[in-house]
Structure 1
């Protein structure tokens, strides 16, 4: 962009209550020209979009939806800091676009009154005007604009109505004068604010008047710490001011609600007209959707549909299999065209396999956010949270945690990303911390192999139940039970705080905007690839390097001479039977060589180094090695065990030879079996509770914008998994009279 064009760029902040169509309007204005990220140190997402009109470029800053600009936490402080220009890395907005729900102006004007105090050029978008009319609400927009002293434009963002007029108004907003606005607070309060600001200036403490006002109103003490006012002197000054206000009949903080809603009533007098209409369609639908029985039944069916789509081999499974096939094919073509060596292995097993390992999650993420976007845009998500709130409040969470946790049964990655629907920071972080405990699809291969090979089969209830199915279900229950306990502990310790009251507006139902849904899916998919994908790819390459090097040829000297002979004989063979026999021997020799290289690699040595740590779980070094190798993705353990036992990395959970190898495996230097029922249960419980998933940890880092939380998740889940596996192994060994491995 040239210098001349830069001078024409205008930064506009978008703000409004939740469910006012703010995101839809943002998408309608900016289209695909968007970028997302996280504000430093918080879990709040920042979203920027741009559009051009004439010679002017408008940069939109989409602030988090909020009912008030009253910060009580770092996450809530973001919107205020952006509007006041207090974030060094964020451009200060030159103007504000406030989105109001035309059918709920009494509530929406509360935050507008706070925005007007900032003295920035302001435009009001009166959105969902059609929904308001269906409710019998008529708004006199010209009269409202006159009362507010700012332009008011009617829009229907989901249909694109009024969007172009809004673009044109934003192009001229920089020339608009700040609104003339008189504070609604009583004179006594304004005098105390002026006095406090004077004392701060005298003490060389700089703060905008709006924050000084908030200092008096914020009885939580958060803002005092945020502004670093310098000890007890200022605190005492603020307390004395509050005491004087209370004596004069201006109680803090109640004065804000009384003053602002009085201003709202005065502003809307004669602006809003209501006429009796039949109960809105939304109310009639809610008689079913929020009914304790009928609503719960519909909710269960809907969630089963979403879960099936994300988990199904026919919906998500088809594109996932296609991605796996594509990268296997690319890897095969690249491998066939290159000579054996470290560069070939890096490209095939590191880069190509690493990229494929990232993109294979994309269909599940896109499908999940397709459903979430539809449910949010049509208005049902609020009903789902309402129905589940009673259950989740028992562990200190709200009903909004249900969708992310349900999604995590398919894959924790989209589950963690879906926590963005949770406004409360503690609830959002708690949900992120327990989402990986839900048994995802990647754990299933581990369960299938261990159950099929080592859990005796018994049938019950006339064949309706069996020991294999109950063990499989038990692994899911282990994760759920652990998640409940961890949530209770976190909410009473690290993320302590009272369960927030469940206050959520039930918006009117409306047809979802396909544009909004499509942009949401594209945004989440690209965000995952661009941000989390880089970390996942890096971990895949690191594990490849650990599994490849030192690649000592002496470790495979037993098989390489014979492999060379077989390859020579195969090139000269003409008989089909002879060719088939030689190819089978060639495959066996290659598997032996791959296994020997892995056992001698840094990864194999690491498995031997950790054997003293995992022996109390009944594991030998091979299981430890496979567990370390599975860090990029849990299901890798099966292929790694296949390589270690000279079967090749193509083995999967259905492999009969792998099961037989595991059954016949013995401890080094003995004839004692490694695997039995207690060891199988130990392995399954460990993988049910562990954080062996670099992808999930990378997404937690991306969502929280900090390494603190993924490190905490990895540490607590690893310790939990180790303790759980140890206890299960000891109890199972006691009841099955299996000798316990000496430590």
Structure 2
């Protein structure tokens, strides 16, 4: 029976007892399509909070997607078993048993299993069915499984498990009518299998799952010939890492080769908007506030949107195609050598977008010391907030010259070097932690390698839209507020009705006060103010510099790049990006570290260590470059 059938559900004959379903728990292993199904069933009408006393997120929504707004769906964390020591597994067990404070006890369970790997994923079915709750087993991605000559007898599986089984596709939304039929059976008590293994015994569950697969004649789908050929090359011990390096180099070169003209064109548009807006306002302080303060600050960060979106487009293609999972295996060899848990790779990889969700994703790491070590080094990874200052300083100070022919230029090399600097700093710090205060035994790294597939335009489009929305929202809120405050502080105290010189303003005096501390790094007082404001969020520094240089009559007519070249030399410019590569400058990250570790000790240690490391590295960079260039 295909998942494209309007209703695909097999229910063995079972006795019935009175009961009413109000709350349903959605359970499944990671990457089984559970989150996609939750979003489709709730129609995105959901709320997100934290379970009381723990850091695991709670997603709850009404089943509006199938016309049952009277029912509540609880999305439990993705887990492989109910006996794991991870916080996610503990929360799932407590919710299923009805002992989690603030969460209603579920009346039924929707168990999502990936039919592509059904033999292994059935290990979760045993302990879930052992709970005795009415359970509907949803075999996701059976359309892909059957297209690749895989087979599963859903009726035989339902009779074997004593629970209804439905074939679905969460991505396409097919087969979901089965859920409505299951939930309409208000008086159903699902018959449990006669010989379930002992709860908590992983070996017996593995043996039981294998037996169920054999008796129901499950046939795993074949890997395509293309996948096997690609993996022989991409996972090769020598060619794999070399090809991965080539992919990364190509990515960064494309950001400048394709992205720079797009940003230049966008800059011209933003400049024209600023001129037109200024022409609509009367000359004076209002015009200066709007144009020199707000618009120059916000537009100086918005101009990098095309390059940032281009970078995330390439990363999205690599992720959706299945290649990044292979990169995880390549990187695992390096991570094991420094003592990091293999599961730490996923948080470190996702930190290239933002450190906040990356730190939250460390909850899957069972060992507490491994988890804290991963949390402490994650902010070293180059997040998207660092990209604007990287692009600004590289475009201003690094000539656009070829380095390895026309394929790889100096700008891309510097950008790649900054990413590598953050990665190496993370590995070195992890090695230091794991060999001293956070020693722990190593754990195996288990990863399902997905089939190679073509990314969909819808998936990539949603990813870019979400990234653009976050970026623009940041520019329109935090950066806008900071630039307005900076403009005000750069124009007070007024004397005789006229604005003071920038250096004599309140912000100028503050900058000159801290300048002796940062002067050895090659920074002037304006950069110092940028360092202070960027503690809120790293990208704020670009808006800060745009506002300060826009308020200075000596540089008001220059572009921001020209103004920086007027005030800085190469040593200070490179020192600045090195500082940003290593420093902890994100209040949101510090807050989530405090929440995840339940202590202010670790974020304080993290902030002091990263700031000191950034200062020393920037000082050394400026001194070396200034001496030889």
> Normalising TM by the smaller chain, what interval?
0.7 to 0.9
For residue 647 of structure 1, give the secondary structure of its aligned residue in structure 2. coil
Report if the CA contact (8 A) 2:402-2:409 is conserved: yes
TM-aligned CA distance change 1:302 to 1:34, over 3 Å: farther
1:698 aligns with 2:588: yes
Aligned residues: 596
TM-aligned CA distance change 1:539 to 1:45, over 3 Å: farther
**Equivalent residues in 2 for 1:634-673 (5 A)?**
634-636=541-543, 638-639=545-546, 642-643=549-550, 646-649=553-556, 651-652=558-559, 654-655=561-562, 659=565, 661-662=566-567
Residue number among 362, 365, 387 corresponding to 1:440 in the alignment: 387
Deviation at 1:505, TM superposition (A): 1.9
Report if the CA contact (8 A) 1:290-1:383 is conserved: yes
Deviation at 1:124, TM superposition (A): 0.4
Report if the CA contact (8 A) 1:124-1:150 is conserved: yes
TM-aligned CA distance change 1:114 to 1:685, over 3 Å: same
TM-aligned CA distance change 1:273 to 1:174, over 3 Å: same
TM-aligned CA distance change 1:537 to 1:466, over 3 Å: closer
For residue 13 of structure 1, give the secondary structure of its aligned residue in structure 2. strand
Residue number among 179, 196, 206 corresponding to 1:261 in the alignment: 206
**What is residue 143 of structure 1 aligned with on the other side?**
156
Q: Provide Cα deviations, 1:439-465, integer angstroms capped at 9, x if missing partner.
A: 73423433565678xxxxx99999x99
Report if the CA contact (8 A) 2:578-2:618 is conserved: yes
**Equivalent residues in 2 for 1:156-175 (5 A)?**
156-163=169-176, 165-169=177-181, 171-172=183-184, 175=187
Deviation at 1:123, TM superposition (A): 0.7
Moved more, 65-74 or 394-403: 394-403
Deviation at 1:306, TM superposition (A): 4.9
For residue 614 of structure 1, give the secondary structure of its aligned residue in structure 2. helix
Structure 1 Cα separation of the partners of residues 408 and 231 of structure 2: 38
**What is residue 7 of structure 2 aligned with on the other side?**
none
Moved more, 34-43 or 144-153: 34-43
**What is residue 314 of structure 1 aligned with on the other side?**
258
Report if the CA contact (8 A) 1:15-1:99 is conserved: yes
**What is residue 375 of structure 2 aligned with on the other side?**
429
**What is residue 488 of structure 1 aligned with on the other side?**
431
Gaps of 5+ in 1: 1-7, 187-212, 218-255, 453-457, 561-592, 663-674, 739-743
Q: Provide Cα deviations, 1:422-448, integer angstroms capped at 9, x if missing partner.
A: 743457525522114897342343356
Report if the CA contact (8 A) 2:49-2:57 is conserved: yes
Gaps of 5+ in 2: 1-19, 366-370
TM-aligned CA distance change 1:356 to 1:142, over 3 Å: farther
Residue number among 499, 503, 506 corresponding to 1:599 in the alignment: 503
Structure 1 Cα separation of the partners of residues 189 and 284 of structure 2: 69
- Aligned-residue Cα RMSD (Å) equals 5.0
Moved more, 107-116 or 466-475: 466-475
1:544 aligns with 2:484: yes
**What is residue 220 of structure 1 aligned with on the other side?**
none
Structure 1 Cα separation of the partners of residues 68 and 172 of structure 2: 26
**What is residue 94 of structure 1 aligned with on the other side?**
107
Deviation at 1:145, TM superposition (A): 1.3
**What is residue 615 of structure 2 aligned with on the other side?**
722
For residue 118 of structure 1, give the secondary structure of its aligned residue in structure 2. coil
**What is residue 628 of structure 1 aligned with on the other side?**
532
TM-aligned CA distance change 1:401 to 1:444, over 3 Å: farther
Q: Provide Cα deviations, 1:102-131, integer angstroms capped at 9, x if missing partner.
A: 343332121111212333321101223344
Structure 1 Cα separation of the partners of residues 398 and 224 of structure 2: 56
Structure 1 Cα separation of the partners of residues 296 and 481 of structure 2: 9
Deviation at 1:730, TM superposition (A): 5.9
Q: Provide Cα deviations, 1:665-704, integer angstroms capped at 9, x if missing partner.
A: xxxxxxxxxx777656655543443345x5xx53675698
Deviation at 1:152, TM superposition (A): 0.3
Deviation at 1:84, TM superposition (A): 3.6
Report if the CA contact (8 A) 2:381-2:419 is conserved: no
Structure 2 Cα separation of the partners of residues 607 and 364 of structure 1: 31
Moved more, 273-282 or 376-385: 273-282
Residue number among 96, 99, 122 corresponding to 1:83 in the alignment: 96
Residue number among 12, 26, 32 corresponding to 2:24 in the alignment: 12
For residue 553 of structure 2, give the secondary structure of its aligned residue in structure 1. coil
Deviation at 1:180, TM superposition (A): 3.4
Report if the CA contact (8 A) 1:100-1:109 is conserved: yes
TM-score (normalised: structure 1): 0.65
Structure 2 Cα separation of the partners of residues 517 and 166 of structure 1: 30
For residue 443 of structure 2, give the secondary structure of its aligned residue in structure 1. coil
**What is residue 387 of structure 1 aligned with on the other side?**
330
TM-aligned CA distance change 1:307 to 1:648, over 3 Å: same
1:61 aligns with 2:74: yes
Residue number among 160, 165, 169 corresponding to 1:152 in the alignment: 165
Report if the CA contact (8 A) 2:197-2:208 is conserved: no
Residue number among 292, 315, 320 corresponding to 2:237 in the alignment: 292
**Equivalent residues in 2 for 1:467-478 (5 A)?**
478=421
**What is residue 611 of structure 1 aligned with on the other side?**
515
Deviation at 1:81, TM superposition (A): 3.7
Q: Provide Cα deviations, 1:75-112, integer angstroms capped at 9, x if missing partner.
A: 44333344344454545443221112334333212111
Relative contact order, higher structure (CA 8 A, sep 6+): 2
Report if the CA contact (8 A) 1:140-1:271 is conserved: yes
Structure 2 Cα separation of the partners of residues 123 and 686 of structure 1: 53
For residue 151 of structure 2, give the secondary structure of its aligned residue in structure 1. strand
Structure 1 Cα separation of the partners of residues 310 and 426 of structure 2: 25
Which one has the largest radius of gyration?
1
Report if the CA contact (8 A) 1:126-1:154 is conserved: yes
Deviation at 1:724, TM superposition (A): 2.4
For residue 215 of structure 2, give the secondary structure of its aligned residue in structure 1. coil
Q: Provide Cα deviations, 1:631-658, integer angstroms capped at 9, x if missing partner.
A: 5524346536635763345644642x65
